[in-house]
Amino acid sequence: MEMKSQHISEARRYLDYLRKGSDQYDTYIRYVREEVRKGGFTLEDIGTSEEELEELRVMGCKVSARKYLDYLRKGSDQYDTYIRYVREEVRKGGFTLEDIGTSEEELESFKKQTV
């Protein structure tokens, strides 16, 4: 029984990270699932669901995209990489650039600043 409670507490810890908004969403979701499997309990037992995990994944994509956008806005010289990461997170999350407060025009402008 003690092992199960340890897995429950670990799963809840990772779930808390996700709920706060983490750019490491894939890792934390995988950890939640591993703890659930190892502990032999359900997502419902820790107060979540597949639907919430999906919402947290999308939120994590937004957190990550905003992080890279912030790097770009601060003048990073890795603009090609960060622009690609922003677009990748937008695609993975199924939202738009506008949803994170930017546009194609702004992304393209980062390239022009360094030329």
DSSP code for 98:
G
Residue 81 to residue 29: CA distance in whole angstroms: 25
Q: Which residue type does 110 have?
A: F
**Amino acid 113: pLDDT:** 64
- Per-residue tens of pLDDT for the chain, all 115 residues: 578 899 999 999 999 999 999 999 999 999 999 999 999 999 999 999 999 999 999 999 999 999 999 999 999 999 999 999 999 999 999 999 999 999 999 999 998 765 5
The answer to whether 70 touches 38, Cβ cutoff 8 Å, is: no
Residue the block writes with tokens 């999906």: 54
pTM of the shown model: 0.91
Note the pLDDT of residue 93: 98
Residue 113: strand, helix, or coil: helix
Ordered alpha helix ranges (H), 1-115? 2-20, 25-39, 50-73, 79-93, 104-114
- What pLDDT is stored for residue 111 in this prediction? 87
State the pLDDT at residue 101.
97
